[in-house]
């Protein structure tokens, strides 16, 4: 009897210990992530500036992603218009399809889709590259040669993502709305002028001044900015912490895409809530 | 690269750096008799050079302690090093040997302050680097050149850019001066700058990568060179070439070196002193002659068939 009690006690103790270890590791990882983020962002303003690396990353992250952003944006805009057309026709509101497409693309689908695409394409690339550099001792070599790897590798990637993701999102929004216009014209038979007028009504109905920036602009540009930071920092964090050779590089890449994608969707919700409260 | 070019490149690399007569060294690895003879000749030559080194030690006073590890202990999940102490005087080459996984490479990371010991002091030129800030540690690292086990060349850069990297980061040299320095260092490691400058690391053989790694480590004219398994994974001829280069550095530039190696044959060729790491401690620290004369059973077993 006492033997059974003792073994139960030991089992509970073991479970608690494992839980405790896992919690400690989680907190430590979170702390390391925020330290990395703080340093990477802080180094943006500290010399030396690796301008060449920044432009190289802007090219790789931004220009290199235009193709997939154009494709996904265009087809998403078309399918969104196709699905909405059926619903809007039911209520006799199909004239407003431009407003619906513009609002959905600019506020939600543009930033989230561009974010997810870039997380898959760029996030995985960054994690694999930095992970390979870690396992082949190139990160140690940078340290040895008196270069801070965060400044040289992380800061240019984060800054490039912060700049380029909003640009990619605007392109995504535009081709999405363009895709919607094709459905509006050829499926619903609406004139292009009507479609584009409703699009501009959605975006600029309340005007645009320094004191009043329409909600679509705030949501449409703040979200990709935040997503750019999330993708690049998550990728750099997993890349720099790669262990275990080539298998570790694969794990870092997978973890980056999964973590960044989930974070984009979760943060999107909270960011929307915050922006709607702050800018009703 | 064509097969012919590749063959020529590999042939060039295997040529002994000091050889003027190309026919004196074997060009084909499968010609084993000639290879063995060449290695024998080369090692004899290296041994002679090594005997001469006493008279040619460089800028540092041989009595000046450049590197000191004082009672170092380090543990991660389990102890790695316990009460490890040894020192290197100016111009000496200390070879750290030991079985795999005994923490040999950890010692180099402690010297570079990529790791901080749990206990003890690491002195570089008399300065304890353990408590330095990150920025000050970067400055100390500029006194050192490091050659990594896999060379750790930046694979997105050409050979030229790799060797020029530390100069661009830490000096105000003009591009012409940088080019001259890169040429000098590549020539020092017996590579032809015009041939290799524009090559990417992925196009180089293992031995060439190691040599470019040495050239990059030397670019800033460091006072201290650290080598992590410089001869691992190399064929006997290339191993002899790298050993020769390390000795050449010691002889001609008076650089103080710490070499981590499991290649006991090369260790005996290049070492002023050997530190044997066993069971987290320094089991032996002394000259190669003292080591071979030791009656300690572990040392005899470690030296084994050598």
| Nearest-CB residue to A140 (from B138, B152, B170) | B152
Using a CB–CB cutoff of 8 Å, tell me whether A140 touches chain B: yes
Q: Tens digit of pLDDT for each residue in B209-262?
A: 988 999 999 998 898 999 998 888 788 888 888 888 888 888 888 889 999 988
Q: Which residue of B146, B200, B209 is the best one to mutate when testing the A interface, meaning the one whose CB has the most A CBs within 10 A? A: B146
- Residues 145-164 of chain A with CB under 8 A from chain B are 145-148
Using a CB–CB cutoff of 8 Å, tell me whether B285 touches chain A: no
Quick check: A146 and B134 CB within 8 A?
no
- Rounded to whole angstroms, the Cα distance separating A123 from A252 reads 10
Residue B17 pLDDT:
38
Residue A235: pLDDT over 50: yes
Using a CB–CB cutoff of 8 Å, tell me whether B148 touches chain A: yes
The residue in chain A having the minimum alpha-carbon distance to the alpha carbon of residue B152 is A138
Within 10 angstroms of residue B295's Cβ, the number of other Cβ atoms is 6
Q: What is the mean pLDDT of chain B?
A: 79
Confidence of residue B32 (pLDDT cuts 50, 70, 90): very low
Confidence of residue B305 (pLDDT cuts 50, 70, 90): low
- Cis status of the peptide bond prior to A122, with omega within 30 of 0: no
DSSP label of A49: P
Quick check: A137 and B134 CB within 8 A?
no
Residue A86 pLDDT:
84
Average pLDDT estimate for B141-147 = 88
- Rounded to whole angstroms, the Cα distance separating B80 from A135 reads 21
Residue A180 pLDDT:
93
Using a CB–CB cutoff of 8 Å, tell me whether A56 touches chain B: no
Closest CA relative to residue A241, chosen from A75, A3, A28: A28
Using a CB–CB cutoff of 8 Å, tell me whether A136 touches chain B: yes
Q: B30-59+90-116+129-303: CATH homologous superfamily? A: P-loop containing nucleotide triphosphate hydrolases (3.40.50.300)
Using a CB–CB cutoff of 8 Å, tell me whether A272 touches chain B: no
Residue B45 pLDDT:
54
Q: Tens digit of pLDDT for each residue in A186-224?
A: 988 888 889 898 888 887 776 666 667 777 888 889 999
- Rounded to whole angstroms, the Cα distance separating A167 from B185 reads 44
Residue B202: pLDDT over 50: yes
Closest CA relative to residue B112, chosen from B258, B239, B303, B286: B258
Residue B215 pLDDT:
93
Task: Choose between A83 and B99: higher pLDDT.
Answer: A83
CB pairs under 8 A between A and B: 46
Percent of chain A with pLDDT over 70: 95
Closest CA relative to residue B53, chosen from B271, B200, B304: B271
Q: Which residue of A134, A141, A148 is the best one to mutate when testing the B interface, meaning the one whose CB has the most B CBs within 10 A? A: A141
- Where along chain B do its domains lie? 30-59+90-116+129-303
Quick check: A140 and B141 CB within 8 A?
no
Query: How many Å is the maximal CA-CA distance in chain A?
Result: 84
Q: Which residue of A39, A49, A145, A150 is the best one to mutate when testing the B interface, meaning the one whose CB has the most B CBs within 10 A? A: A145
Residue B177 pLDDT:
94
Quick check: A145 and B166 CB within 8 A?
yes
Closest CA–CA distance from residue B226 to any residue of chain A (Å): 10
- Rounded to whole angstroms, the Cα distance separating B79 from B75 reads 4
Q: Are A127 and A256 in contact (CB under 8 A)?
A: yes
Percent of chain A with pLDDT over 90: 61
A137 contacts on B by Cβ (under 8 Å) = 148-150, 152
A132 contacts on B by Cβ (under 8 Å) = 155
Quick check: B165 and A145 CB within 8 A?
yes
Quick check: B114 and A144 CB within 8 A?
yes
Within 10 angstroms of residue B108's Cβ, the number of other Cβ atoms is 25
Quick check: B155 and A148 CB within 8 A?
no
Residue A108: pLDDT over 70: yes
Residue A204 pLDDT:
76
Quick check: A146 and B153 CB within 8 A?
no
Query: What are the structure tokens assigned to B178, written together?
Result: 């940088």
- Among the ranges given (A268-272, B101-105, B198-202), the one the predictor scored with the smallest mean pLDDT: B101-105
Residue A96: pLDDT over 60: yes
Quick check: B141 and A145 CB within 8 A?
yes
Percent of chain B with pLDDT over 70: 79
Closest CA–CA distance from residue A268 to any residue of chain B (Å): 35
Q: Tens digit of pLDDT for each residue in B156-165?
A: 999 999 999 9
Average pLDDT estimate for A89-111 = 88
Return the top range by mean pLDDT from A158-162, B30-34, B62-66, B129-133: A158-162
Query: What are the structure tokens assigned to A170, written together?
Result: 């605007």
Residue A178: pLDDT over 60: yes
Confidence of residue A14 (pLDDT cuts 50, 70, 90): confident
Confidence of residue B10 (pLDDT cuts 50, 70, 90): very low
Q: Tens digit of pLDDT for each residue in B46-102?
A: 445 544 444 333 455 566 788 999 999 999 888 889 999 989 998 899 999 988 777
Quick check: A136 and B141 CB within 8 A?
no
Task: Choose between B33 and B225: higher pLDDT.
Answer: B225
Residue B4 pLDDT:
44
Q: Tens digit of pLDDT for each residue in A124-166?
A: 999 999 999 999 999 999 988 888 899 999 999 999 999 999 9
Residue B196 pLDDT:
93
Q: Are A117 and A62 in contact (CB under 8 A)?
A: no
Residue A209 pLDDT:
66
Using a CB–CB cutoff of 8 Å, tell me whether A141 touches chain B: yes
Closest CA relative to residue A223, chosen from A181, A172, A156: A172
Using a CB–CB cutoff of 8 Å, tell me whether B144 touches chain A: yes
Residue B22: pLDDT over 50: no
Sign for the pseudo-dihedral over CA of B258, B206, B4, B33:
positive
- Residues 172-231 of chain B with CB under 8 A from chain A are 216
| Owner of token pair 């363009």 | A178
Q: What is the mean pLDDT of chain A?
A: 90
Residue A73: pLDDT over 90: yes
With a cut of 0.85, is the ipTM above it? no
């Amino acid at each position: 009897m006492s033997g059974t009690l003792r073994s139960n006690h030991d089992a509970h103790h073991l479970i608690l210990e494992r839980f405790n270890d896992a919690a400690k590791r989680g907190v430590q990882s979170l702390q390391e992530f925020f330290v990395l983020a703080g340093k990477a962002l802080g180094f943006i303003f500290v010399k030396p500036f690796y301008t060449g690396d920044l432009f190289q990353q802007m090219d790789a992250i931004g220009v290199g992603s235009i193709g997939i952003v154009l494709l996904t944006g265009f087809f998403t805009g078309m399918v969104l218009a196709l699905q909405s057309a059926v619903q809007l026709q039911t209520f006799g509101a199909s004239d407003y399809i431009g407003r619906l497409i513009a609002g959905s693309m600019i506020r939600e689908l543009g930033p989230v889709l561009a974010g997810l695409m870039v997380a898959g394409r760029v996030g995985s690339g960054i994690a694999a590259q930095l992970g390979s550099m870690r396992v082949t001792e190139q990160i140690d070599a940078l340290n040895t040669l008196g270069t801070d790897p965060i400044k040289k590798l992380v800061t240019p990637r984060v800054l490039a993502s912060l700049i380029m993701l909003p640009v990619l999102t605007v392109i995504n929004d535009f081709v999405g709305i363009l895709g919607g216009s094709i459905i509006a014209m050829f499926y619903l038979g609406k004139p292009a002028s009507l479609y584009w007028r409703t699009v501009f009504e959605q975006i600029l109905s309340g005007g645009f001044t320094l004191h009043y920036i329409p909600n679509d602009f705030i949501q449409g540009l703040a979200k990709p900015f935040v997503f750019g930071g999330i993708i690049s920092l998550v990728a750099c964090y997993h890349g720099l912490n790669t262990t275990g050779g080539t298998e570790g590089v694969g794990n870092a890449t997978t973890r980056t895409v999964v973590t960044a994608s989930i974070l984009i969707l979760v943060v999107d919700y909270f960011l929307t809530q915050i922006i709607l409260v702050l800018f009703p | 690269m064509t097969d012919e070019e590749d063959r020529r490149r590999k042939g060039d690399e295997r040529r002994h750096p000091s050889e003027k007569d190309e026919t004196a060294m074997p060009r084909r690895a499968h010609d084993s008799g000639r290879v063995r003879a060449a290695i024998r000749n080369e090692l004899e030559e290296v041994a002679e050079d090594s005997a001469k080194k006493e008279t040619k030690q460089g800028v540092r006073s041989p009595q000046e302690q450049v590197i000191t590890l004082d009672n170092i202990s380090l543990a991660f999940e389990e102890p790695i090093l316990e009460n490890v102490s040894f020192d290197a005087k100016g111009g000496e080459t200390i070879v750290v040997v030991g079985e795999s996984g005994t923490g040999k490479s950890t010692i180099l990371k402690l010297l570079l302050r990529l790791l901080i010991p749990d206990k003890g002091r690491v002195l570089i030129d008399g300065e304890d680097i353990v408590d330095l800030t990150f920025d000050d540690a970067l400055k100390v690292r500029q006194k050192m050149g490091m050659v990594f086990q896999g060379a750790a060349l930046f694979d997105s850069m050409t050979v030229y850019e790799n060797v020029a990297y530390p100069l661009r980061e830490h000096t105000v040299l003009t591009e012409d001066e940088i080019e001259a320095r890169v040429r000098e260092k590549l020539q020092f490691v017996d590579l032809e700058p015009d041939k290799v400058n524009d090559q990417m690391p992925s196009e180089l053989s293992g031995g060439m990568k190691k040599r470019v790694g040495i050239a990059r480590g030397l670019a800033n004219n460091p006072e201290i060179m650290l080598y992590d398994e410089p001869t691992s994974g190399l064929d006997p001829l290339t191993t002899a070439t790298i050993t020769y280069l390390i000795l050449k550095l010691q002889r001609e530039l008076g650089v103080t070196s710490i070499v981590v190696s499991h290649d006991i044959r090369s260790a005996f060729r290049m070492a002023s002193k050997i530190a044997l790491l066993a069971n987290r401690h320094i089991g032996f620290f002394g000259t190669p002659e003292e080591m071979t004369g030791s009656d300690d059973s572990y040392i005899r077993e470690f030296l084994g068939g050598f």
